[in-house]
Copies of this chain bind each other. A is one copy, B any other.
Amino acid sequence: MDRRHEQGQAALAAAGHLRRMIVEGALRPGEPLRETKIAEVLGVSRNTLREAFRSLANDGLVVHEMNRGTRVNQLSAEAIREIYELRRFIEIPALRDGRRTDEVVARMRASVAAADAARHRGEWIEVGTADLDFHRAIVSLTGNSRLIAFHEKMAAELRLAFGVLDPEVLHEPFIDRNVQIAARFADGEAAFAAELLADYLSVSENLVLSTHLTIH
């Protein structure tokens, strides 16, 4: 049996594989991605791999330079500041002014529960995933699919910075903050929840930036 097409989309599978390797830190920021080598490892042709690269470049996980190839994106301190500025700009009004629904409240609770469970297992990558899902739930309050996609792309980009930092130090302090935010929002105290969220983002930005600066 020919399994090449059983997933239906070789480029998508390759992109997913690379995405996971980047998020987990197996491929480090700045590392060049050689087409021939990676195509061989993933078992796809160079043409297919180049399509996967396009998809990842679209998400900001890799950057492509003409005639110089593709490499894992490396966030500058300025880029990190930009992303947090936009997270504030998007998430705080979304939480403060968004229409509360049972569906979103349930999704928030599920995310914080998943983060807490992953903490006890010591799986910090999973904690990070659950954390981002919590904040995606906040943005989903806007109901604007383009804004949701934009925020999701930035969140994925931010994980590039997380990848080189100590995941426990980075994520552990924020689980309880998310619990508080979710509880306040569920109780109808959206304005107070938004203030807690503003605190979260400030502290998180300073932590990521300070650690980022000491490394580079």
Contact = CB atoms under 8 A, between A and B. Distances in A.
A146 B50 contact: no
Secondary structure dominating the interface of A? helix
Given A82-B145, A145-B82, A8 B66 contact: yes
A90 to B, nearest CB: 9
Interface in A27-72: 47, 50-51, 54-55, 58, 66-67
A162 B85 CA distance: 32
A144 interface: yes
A55 B8 CA distance: 22
Nearest to A144: B82
Count chain B CB atoms within 10 A of each CB in A50, A86, A146 and give the residue with the most.
A146
Interface in A82-141: 82-83, 85-86, 89
Instruction: Please name the 7 residue pairs, one residue from A and one from B, whose CB atoms are nearest each other, closest first.
Output: A54-B54, A58-B58, A82-B144, A150-B150, A47-B47, A82-B146, A85-B144
